[in-house]
């Protein structure tokens, strides 16, 4: 083995370095996941419900269901 | 943490019958790897008691090899065991599949009436009539004008 000078490895602050990396990463991942959920799930769902109920006629819906024969109390 | 091993010292035996129990989680036990030393090695151990700057590189390596069986690089080497493991896993998947197939043919009783296709179709029609989950769920995927699933 040749005696070439190796670079001195980091001797101190290893835990601090690891913590910083993981805390920053955890923050970023949580924010990312929350933002993705808000955009992809929550806003979509709110829009779907708003669109459904904008022109919803509950009496018409009821008449359709009655005609299909699923009610016992209204034939 | 006291040494995990036998009370007697191994003399001239190979692991696992020696008292040498170094592992990755217990890397520097008191007992060295080689306990039986020849004259040359005993001389080297004497030299070790002096200043270490007097030792040549080869002597340092020899002392290391007396103390330890393998270096960290050697003990952490990878192996092909995973191939055996995956092979056995897949084999037992296949064996289980064959067993379950045989059971389906020879053991399972008749399906109840509620699992026949006619019953399931009537059930689905009833759910659609009731407009179950009309916003994002089942009934929202059904086209009531054309009486078919939405594309």
For CA atoms A8, A9, A13, A19, the dihedral sign is positive
| pLDDT one-digit tens code per residue, B8-20 | 444 455 656 677 8
Q: How far is B132 from chain A (nearest CA, A)?
A: 11
The domain ranges of chain B are 16-76, 110-151
The stretch B83-110 carries a mean pLDDT of: 97
Domain B16-76 has CATH 3.90.870.10: no
Q: Measured between CB atoms, which of A48, A52, A70 is closest to B126?
A: A70
Q: Is B18 exposed, middle or buried (0-12, 13-18, 19+ CB in 10 A)?
A: buried
> DSSP secondary-structure letter at A43?
I
Q: Look at residue B7 and tell me whether its pLDDT is greater than 60.
A: no
For chain A, the residues whose C-beta falls within 8 A of a C-beta of chain B are 1, 3, 45, 48-49, 52, 61, 64-65, 68-70
pLDDT at site B1? 46
Q: Supply the pLDDT for residue A4.
A: 78
pLDDT reading at B104 higher than 90: yes
Fold of A15-66: Cytochrome C Oxidase; Chain I (4.10.93)
Judged against a pLDDT cut of 60, whether residue A72 lies above it is answered with yes
Of the candidates B24, B149, A5, the one whose C-alpha atom is nearest the C-alpha of residue B140 is B149
Q: Mean per-residue pLDDT for A50-63?
A: 95
- Average pLDDT over chain B, rounded to whole? 88
Q: Which residues pair with B26 in a beta bridge?
A: B23
pLDDT tens-place string over residues B31-43: 899 888 899 999 9
Q: How far apart are CA B27 and CA B101, in angstroms?
A: 51
Tell me what ipTM this predicted complex has. Answer: 0.71
CB contact under 8 A, B144 and A64: yes
pLDDT tens-digit readout, B49-85: 999 999 999 999 999 999 998 999 999 999 999 999 9
Q: Are B50 and B25 in contact (CB under 8 A)?
A: no
Question: Can you tell me the distance from the alpha carbon of B106 to that of B26, in angstroms, rounded to the nearest whole number?
Answer: 55
Query: What is d(CA B98, CA B28) in angstroms, rounded to the nearest whole number?
Result: 50
Q: Which of A62, A68, A75 has the most B C-beta neighbours within 10 Å, making it the best mutation to test the interface with B?
A: A68
pLDDT at A55: 94
Domain assignments of chain A as residue spans, ordered by start: 15-66
């Amino acid at each position: 083995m040749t005696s070439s000078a190796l670079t001195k490895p980091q001797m101190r602050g290893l835990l601090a370095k690891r913590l910083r990396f993981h805390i920053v990463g955890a923050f970023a991942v949580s924010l990312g996941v929350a933002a993705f959920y808000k955009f992809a799930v929550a806003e979509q769902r709110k829009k779907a419900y708003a669109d459904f109920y904008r022109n919803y006629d509950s009496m018409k819906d009821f008449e359709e269901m009655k005609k299909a024969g699923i009610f016992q109390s209204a034939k | 943490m006291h040494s995990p091993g036998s009370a007697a010292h191994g003399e001239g035996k190979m692991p696992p019958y020696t008292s040498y129990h170094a592992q990755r989680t217990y890397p520097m036990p008191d007992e060295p790897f080689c306990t039986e030393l020849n004259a040359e090695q005993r001389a080297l151990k004497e030299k070790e008691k002096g200043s270490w700057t007097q030792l040549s590189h080869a002597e340092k390596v020899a002392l290391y090899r007396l103390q330890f069986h393998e270096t960290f690089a050697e003990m952490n080497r990878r192996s092909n065991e995973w191939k055996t493991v995956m092979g056995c896993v897949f084999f037992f998947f296949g064996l289980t599949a064959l067993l379950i197939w045989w059971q389906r043919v020879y053991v399972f009783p008749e399906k109840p009436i509620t699992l026949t296709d006619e019953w399931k179709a009537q059930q689905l029609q009833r759910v659609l009539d009731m407009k179950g989950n009309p916003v994002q769920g089942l009934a929202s995927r059904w086209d009531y004008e054309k009486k078919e699933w939405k594309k």
